[in-house]
Amino acid sequence: MFTGIIQEVAKVFSITKKTNSNIIAIKSNIVYQDTKISDSINVNGVCLTVVKKEKNILFFEAIKTTLEKTNLKRLKINEYVNLEQALK
């Protein structure tokens, strides 16, 4: 569950297109600190799971259906996104 309160505005670091998904890497300073792999993070209103974290970068895999039904398909490198951690 999310509160709807944005915790950080962070920059898209990279987008790696795969056959049926995209790996979205987001450079984060605030949310990164208290996030573990498998945590749910709201990215521009879309709930994604952290699949990797490394050097202040959070990695998410957005599957084909998610990309088709959300604004994530329009993301570009260096754009800013809103981040919010799930309630604990």
pLDDT (tens digit per residue) in 49-59: 999 999 999 99
Q: Which residues contact 67 (CB under 8 A, 6 or more apart)?
A: 21, 22, 73
CATH class of segment(s) 8-85: mainly beta
Q: What is the C-alpha separation between 49 and 43, in angstroms, rounded?
A: 10
The predicted model gives 22-33 an average pLDDT of 95
Residue 19: pLDDT over 90: yes
Mean of pLDDT values over 37-48: 94
Residue 64 DSSP code: H
Nearest to 83 by CA among 45, 50, 54: 45
Question: What pLDDT is stored for residue 70 in this prediction?
Answer: 95
